[in-house]
Amino acid sequence: ANSFWPDWIGNDHRDICVWTYCYNAKMIGCTRNRIGLTKHGEMLADEIEHELRMGSKPILLAAHSMGGLIGMTATRACYQRS
């Protein structure tokens, strides 16, 4: 059985788009050669804005822990850009 919960949502609700944003948590930090939390948020914001320009359906972010911080950073970046 498929245990990847985003697939369950997509299968149960064919009228919505479900996508995931993957990141390497070990790469987030403040030292050299690491991508900061702000940069990850900005990269996700770029993806969100692209989807919205393409006429995407409304977007709902479901996240936790570090992913939640990235999602909040992306949301703030989109708001500040608008």
pLDDT of 59 > 90? The answer is: no
Contact 57, 27 (CB under 8 A): no
- Provide DSSP, 20-47: -----GGGBSSSTT-B-HHHHHHHHHHH
Cα 61 to Cα 78: distance, rounded to the nearest angstrom: 13
For 5-52, how does the pLDDT look when each residue is reduced to its tens digit (9 = 90+)? Answer: 888 988 898 888 788 888 877 766 655 556 788 888 999 999 999 988
- Tell whether the torsion through CA atoms of 6, 10, 15 and 17 is positive or negative: positive
Contact 48, 56 (CB under 8 A): no
Q: Which residue has the higher pLDDT, 73 or 35?
A: 73
Residues facing residue 28 across a β-bridge: 35
Q: What is the pLDDT, as a whole number, of residue 30?
A: 57
Mean per-residue pLDDT, 50-77: 87
pTM of the model: 0.76
Q: What is the pLDDT, as a whole number, of residue 42?
A: 93
